[in-house]
Amino acid sequence: MAAVDPVFSFIARAALAALFAASAAHKMRDPRAFAESVRDYEVVPRGLAAVGAPLLIALEAATAVALLLPAAAAPAAATAFALLVTYSAAIALNLARGRTHIDCGCLGPAGRQPITAGLLVRNAVLLAVALLAAGPVATRPLEAVDALSIAGGLATAVFLFLAGSALAGRAFTAPPRPERQP
């Protein structure tokens, strides 16, 4: 794999860090509800979900911090990749089971969203970002203009994530039926 420009590496790491920090923060607001989301996936025994949910939250928070530390960036990006693969596998399994009614649990109880194929597409993009963040970084000094590039790149990444998440939740589901008037 070719070395990535440090600007692109930083944008990828910072974007993933923001995602995992927001995800962990939302889940920390109501860990019991998140544990219920984990139970709803029915991929681990119910009792294990109560223990696993807080561990997932802690792992997401630790990953967010580690992504911003240059010495820990590569292992943290690998952890982000593994988490995204795990979440994607759970979503895909439940979609195959026809269980589209369950909440993805992506952003905790405040961001309730049923699972859809669109979430798998979104996660595939995030997996590519994690691979970029895990790769080798070219050695070059950062310049003042790089700060502007990083700010613009992060703003674009946030916009694309929010737009993609909105589409993932809506584009692959049937439109609501109009209500009949009595």
Give 106 or 93, the one with higher predicted confidence.
93
Q: What is the pLDDT of residues 28-42, one digit of tens each?
A: 999 998 999 999 999
CB 4 within 8 A of CB 132: yes
Residue 148's SS3 state is helix
Query: What band does 180 get if pLDDT is binned at 50, 70 and 90?
Result: low
Q: What is the pLDDT of residues 104-155, one digit of tens each?
A: 888 666 667 889 998 999 899 999 999 999 999 888 888 889 998 989 988 8
Q: Residue 126 is part of which domain span?
A: 6-169
Which pLDDT belongs to residue 175?
Answer: 43
Residue 62's SS3 state is helix
Asked if the structure places residue 120 within a domain, the reply is: yes
Which pLDDT belongs to residue 72?
Answer: 96
Asked if the structure places residue 148 within a domain, the reply is: yes
How many structural domains comprise the chain? Answer: 1
Angle at 60 between CA 54 and CA 62, to 5 degrees: 100
